[in-house]
């Protein structure tokens, strides 16, 4: 499993849309790139975090980058006063290698594997 944590900044935390239509006047003074706050990717296994990559211009994400466990991540997000002024996106996903010619293996999945293992279990939560 892959976990991505991104921090975005805004001049008004009560009125923030991280993916607006591009209007230069409306965006004046705001940082709309997650790189302004930071973006970190982790591999997750049994609650442990292994940092895969980080792209951080500022130090606001330093406590997140240092996390080694999921519980540490929750603490880092709650206790960092700089992050309290940021819009945080958290994405969870997986990397999948596709099988050639429909020949599935433990490391390569077919289209039906993707449906059965990744998408179908989430159907009750998809509108």
**What's the pLDDT tens digit per position in 41-97?**
999 888 899 999 888 766 778 888 999 998 898 888 888 877 777 778 888 888 788
The alpha-helical segments, DSSP class H, found in 16-120 are 34-37, 62-65, 70-79, 111-113
Biggest CA–CA distance in the chain, Å, is 53
* Averaged pLDDT score across all residues of the chain: 76
Per-residue pLDDT reduced to its tens digit, 99-119: 887 677 777 888 888 888 888
pLDDT for position 10: 61
Cα–Cα distances in Å, from 26 out to 11, 19, 30?
A: 11, 13, 9
Least Cα distance to 37 among 13, 71, 1, 68 occurs for 13
The alpha-helical segments, DSSP class H, found in 19-66 are 34-37, 62-65
């Amino acid at each position: 499993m892959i976990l991505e944590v991104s921090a975005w900044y805004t001049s008004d935390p009560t009125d923030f849309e991280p993916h607006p239509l591009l209007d230069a006047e409306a965006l004046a003074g705001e940082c709309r790139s997650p790189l302004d706050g930071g973006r970190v990717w982790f591999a997750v296994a049994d609650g442990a975090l292994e940092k895969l990559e980080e792209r951080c211009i500022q130090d606001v994400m330093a406590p997140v980058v240092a996390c080694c466990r999921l519980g540490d991540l929750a603490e880092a997000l709650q206790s960092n006063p700089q992050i309290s002024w940021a819009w945080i996106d958290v994405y969870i996903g997986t990397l999948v290698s596709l099988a050639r010619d429909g020949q599935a293996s433990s490391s390569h999945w077919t289209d039906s594997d993707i449906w059965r293992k990744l998408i179908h279990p989430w159907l009750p939560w998809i509108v």
